[in-house]
Amino acid sequence: MAKKMYFQEEIETMPVEKIKALQEEKFLKQVKYVYDNNEYYRNLMDEKGVKPEDIKCMEDISKLPFLTKNDLREAYPYGLLCRPVKDCVRIHSTSGTTGRRVVAFYTQNDIDLWAECCARAIVAAGGSEKDVVQVAYGYGLFTGGAGLHDGSHKVGSLTIPMSSGNTERQIQFMKDLNATILCCTPSYAAYIGEKLHDMGMTADDINLKAGIFGAEPWTEEMRHSIEQSLGIKAYDIYGLTEISGPGVSFECEAQSGMHINEDHFYAEVIDPDTGEVLPEGSEGELVFTSLDKEAFPLLRYRTRDLVVLKREQCSCGRTHIKMCKPKGRSDDMMIIRGVNVFPSQIETVLLKCGYTPNYQIMVDRIGNEDTFDINVELSEEQFKQMKEDEDLEKARKSLTGAMVQMLGIRPKMHLLPPKSIVRSEGKAVRVVDKRKLHD
């Protein structure tokens, strides 16, 4: 059997008891550090009547208040900073479509640890200094580009800092420079695969072996579709700006959940309605506590991502706990005609039924009733095959039936000609919920 590869073997394969002890030691220090260095936290903890001295072990974490995105917005821009600005070397920011942006600050040490997390992900996807890593996540305020870029440097791979967009040039570089690992959002990877075929090439014309895809929810069906079109193994990577960026957790060869970098982040799953901590194996909202951040440490930050945590012996030899693919944010969940609907359920049905991953969900309210429409693009072949109106109608009916089975409610399906839905170069916009505009 080939030797297993890790970026930091000792940490990544550390016995669980040792990881837990390490987490506890760092946690106690981090609590005292934020209390001593940040007024906003001090007030929050004082309001709850907890002092750092009350926190004596990891279990005492339940005494601490939760932190939400609202706290981050309220404290914008410097309110949660635990170091003077002069000690910080960079910021990143969330896209902030609603309300104020969230700005996260980093010291050089924070950047180094974050880069190590991304390096672990690249090595877990089979990367080494012999690889050529094409980073097609956006560069700039978004953490995707910078995170994987720094991680690739740490590994010593040749890094192509493409950023997102200009897809033909993307493919040209990939081919000419023999890129072996592609990093971008899964929706952009799907588009690159489509464009490759449009340019008259197949996976055999490029040298990619792996992809590291994240920043948005994607289904197993989407994974298979990308793996086929690009001829690669596709690995998931998760993270969020508030906690650092990509690399909070990452997938290994087992491709069955993402190992959380437990030496830096402590994960809990809570009931999103009551805040009660749930036992391992239950689905709930993921909550993170950073264990060794300097500039922008967060204690018990509610991510709004719905996941299940499981600690199991993994074939890769890593011991860190795994999280399943997030089902989506709790606020991505739509309630349509009283039924909970996740975009990922719709994606699963579409790909299972042989449709493209190019779709858009539109919800509106007319009078008191929710309207629910799904636009799906046909592939060139499907479009050619379904020339007759009758064929189209038959396909539409059968797809509607499959949706009803999955969702429990009936959407109005629209099958559109190829290339009629705008492609995404970053995070795909899958849902247009006009009800929010009327509220």
Binding site for ligand DLL (CB under 6 A): 94, 137, 143-144, 214-217, 236-241, 245-246, 303, 305, 325-326, 329
Closer Cβ to ligand DLL, 94 or 290, answer by number: 94
- Cα distance between residue 47 and residue 380, in whole Å: 61
By beta-carbon proximity to ligand DLL, the closer residue of 45 and 237 is: 237
Residue 153 backbone phi and psi in degrees, to 5? -60, -45
Are the C-beta atoms of residues 44 and 65 closer than 8 Å to each other? yes
Closest separation between CB of residue 426 and ligand DLL, Å? Answer: 9
Identify the DSSP state of 168. H
Q: How far is the CB of 169 from ligand DLL (least distance, A)?
A: 21
| Contact call for residues 297 and 290 (beta carbons, < 8 A) | yes
C-beta of 245 vs 357, nearer to ligand DLL: 245
Proportion of the chain in helix, strand, coil states, percent, rounded to 5: 35, 25, 40
Beta-carbon contacts of 103 under 8 Å, excluding residues fewer than 6 positions away, are 76, 77, 91, 92, 93
Pick between residue 157 and residue 303 the one whose CB is nearest to ligand DLL: 303
Peptide bond preceding 84: is omega within 30 degrees of 0, i.e. cis? no
Minimum CB separation of residue 243 from ligand DLL in Å reads: 8
**Nearest approach, Cβ of 171 to ligand DLL (angstroms)?**
21
Strand order through the sheet with 412-416 = 412-416, 369-377, 359-366, 431-433
* β-strand partners of 369: 366
Q: Which residues of 62-93 are buried (b: 16+ CB within 10 A; e: fewer)?
A: eebeebebebbeebeeeebbbbeeebbeeebe
> Which is nearer to ligand DLL, 193 or 214 (by Cβ)?
214
* CB of 180 or CB of 303, closer to ligand DLL: 303
| Least gap, CB of 428 to ligand DLL (angstroms) | 11
- Least distance between ligand DLL and beta carbon 180 (Å): 18
The smaller minimum CB distance to ligand DLL, of residues 64 and 286, is found at 286
Give the separation between CA 179 and CA 436, rounded to whole angstroms.
42
246 vs 297, beta carbon nearer ligand DLL: 246
Rounded-to-integer distance, Cα 206 and Cα 277, Å: 47
- Residue 229 in contact with residue 197, Cβ under 8 Å? yes
What is the closest distance, in whole angstroms, from the C-beta atom of residue 390 to ligand DLL in the complex? Answer: 39
Residue 92: which of 135, 159, 147 has the closest Cα?
Answer: 147
Q: Which residue in this structure is represented by tokens 């464009």?
A: 195
Least CB distance to ligand DLL at residue 212 (A): 8
As a whole number of angstroms, the distance between CA 256 and CA 131 comes to: 24
Q: Report the nearest approach of ligand DLL to the CB of residue 237 (Å).
A: 5
Which of 94/289 has CB closer to ligand DLL? 94
Give the span between the Cα atoms of 245 and 144, in whole angstroms. 7
Q: Are 186 and 344 in contact (CB under 8 A)?
A: no
> Cα–Cα distances in Å, from 223 out to 20, 238, 275, 384?
33, 15, 33, 26
Residue for token digits 């969330």? Answer: 94
CB of 181 to ligand DLL, least distance (A): 14
* C-beta of 104 vs 208, nearer to ligand DLL: 104
**Which residue lies nearer to ligand DLL by CB, 193 or 245?**
245
Measuring CA to CA, how many Å separate 422 from each of 59, 69, 194, 360, 377? 48, 30, 13, 9, 10
Residue nearest to ligand DLL (CB): 214
Tell the smallest beta-carbon distance from residue 329 to ligand DLL (Å): 5
